[in-house]
Amino acid sequence: MAKQYIEKGLLVPDHVITRLMMSELENRRLEHWLLDGFPRTLVQAEALDKICELDLVITLNIPFETLKDRLSRRWIHPPSGRVYNLDFNPPHVHGIDDITGEPLVQQEDDKPEAVAARLRQYKDVAKPVIELYKSRGVLHQFSGTETNKIWPYVYTLFSNKITPIQSKEAY
């Protein structure tokens, strides 16, 4: 169901994404997890509130043009899901997957016009969610244009807030 919206460059409606996410999270109640891009709307946040209390919420404040440029330069290898970015993770040969030699494609929702529309729509619906988590004292905001400059601050926050989990291989 979500694919039909994504292919048109639209955000997946609340009822579709919420049903999918709640089902998945209910199955993982006893596990630790990290969500990326959910919840995006107040309806989604309210549904999430019914099953858990969030420890930490992060929002990245990245300029519109930076996001648009970055997302518009994304190409994928559909069979494997490998993602390339023409600026910071380009394929060795333009338009060709490094491993298989098969062609890369740019998804409809990664084309500049679709990205711009999606970002404008996201900004409008995300603002109340950001305000909600800010009022609860769990929101942490980071600003910048480069991952390698933002990530150390995010990593430090994670390290100070979340106790590392030892993997079985560590024993």
List the domain boundaries for the chain. 1-53, 54-163
The whole-number pLDDT of residue 43 equals 93
What is the pLDDT of the chain when averaged over all its residues? 87
Query: Domain 54-163 falls in which CATH fold?
Result: Rossmann fold (3.40.50)
For residue 70, what are its two tokens? 């970055």
- Mean pLDDT on 112-141: 90
**pLDDT surpasses 50 at 77:** yes
User: What confidence category does residue 171 fall into, taking pLDDT thresholds of 50, 70 and 90?
Assistant: very low
- Mean pLDDT on 52-72: 89
- Mean pLDDT on 132-147: 94
